[in-house]
Amino acid sequence: MSRTNIVVLGSSNTDMVIKASHLPVPGETVLGGQFFMVPGGKGANQAVAAARAGAQVSFIAKVGNDIFGQQAITHYHQEGIQVDTIFQDPTNPSGIALISVDAQGENCILVAPGSNAALLPQEVLAVQNVICEAAVLLIQLEIPIATIEEASTIATQHDTKIILNTAPAQPLPDSILNRIDILILNTSEAQYYTEVMVENWETARLAADAISQKCPGTIIITMGAKGSLIKEENNYFQVPAEKVNAVDSTAAGDTFCGVLASAIARNMPVLDAVRLASNAAAISVTRLGAQTSIPYWREYSTASN
């Protein structure tokens, strides 16, 4: 029987967002902002994006034994996400992100990881059956590398495709990179791993070539308003981004990853999956917030056909 479900391994945060005219520089106070609080965290955002794309999603994460953690689990359940693989930490608080957004939709984010940093390899082992039975394992880098290593080992042993989003960028061992089926990086992350400044299609291709020396899988470099470059084996594809009026770029990358994972789980070709994910991400930047901005399948599937 074919497998179409997705496991997301990653972080869960509560986002505290202030939207203002501009982002403050050190020592500056910016008045007149609008405040709102929404569920976030890269893992959670991607899980919600995949679920709203119609995927059956299990979320492996860790939250604090506090009001933020309890609210998060309730919210994920309401989104149709399987929450019996979410652990509660008796010691550390739930993760918190402080997000500033300017009038052009650019943001800066400060994260206190809390319980996310305490998601342990043995906890992944305890729920490994969901990874063994999944079509796709989707991972980001807001949890311990040792935990990612354990999950990627399990996935490889059971032919579960691994999609890794290198956010936030940090050193990765070759043992993980060698297992990745699809690696997703933005321009700053690509520069972190290759020292190539990605400014256009040509430099994106150079960066993809450099990354592929350690990661034999498909490379996708997202370039914001320019679009995405795909390197699949020895083939390169350019996917321009839809032109929209951006309000808030928070979770645009997570929307892309979650929708892409749902498409890959349905055996959609990578190029078509990227086009679909790009359309969903374009919608998300026209809305405020993280998970509040993530669209549903019906909003972008028609435009992608």
DSSP letters, 87-122, are EEESSSPPEEEEEEE-TTS-EEEEEE-GGGGG--HH
Residue 189 annotated as binding site? no
In a domain, 176, yes or no: yes
Residue 10 annotated as binding site? no
- Please give the average per-residue pLDDT across 88-97, as a whole number: 96
66 is catalytic: no
In a domain, 1, yes or no: no
Q: Which two tokens stand for residue 49?
A: 């994006």
Residue 151 scores a pLDDT above 90: yes
Burial class (CB within 10 angstroms; exposed 0-12, middle 13-18, buried 19+) of 212 = middle
CA contacts within 13 A on the Cβ side of 89? 21
Do 134 and 262 form a contact (C-beta atoms < 8 A)?
no
Domain that holds residue 296: 6-13+42-94+119-300
Report pLDDT digits (tens) over 171-211: 999 999 999 999 999 999 999 999 999 999 999 999 999 99
Residue 165 annotated as binding site? no
In a domain, 305, yes or no: no
Residue 43 annotated as binding site? yes
Pick the catalytic residue: 89, 181, 254, 272?
254
* Cα–Cα distance for residue pair 48/188, rounded to 1 Å: 24
Of 15, 95, 4, residue with least CA distance to 58: 4
In a domain, 143, yes or no: yes
What pLDDT is stored for residue 140 in this prediction?
Answer: 97
* Cα–Cα distance for residue pair 177/168, rounded to 1 Å: 15
Which pLDDT band holds residue 1 (cuts at 50, 70, 90)? very low
Say if pTM beats, i.e. exceeds, 0.85.
Answer: yes
Residue 84 annotated as binding site? no
Report pLDDT digits (tens) over 229-259: 999 999 999 999 988 988 878 789 999 999 9
Out of 1-5, 80-84, 121-125, least confident range: 1-5
Q: How many separate domains does the chain show?
A: 1
Residue 289 annotated as binding site? yes
In a domain, 108, yes or no: no
What CATH number corresponds to the domain at position 244? 3.40.1190.20
What pLDDT is stored for residue 273 in this prediction?
Answer: 98
In a domain, 171, yes or no: yes
In a domain, 105, yes or no: no
Residue 243 annotated as binding site? no
In a domain, 262, yes or no: yes
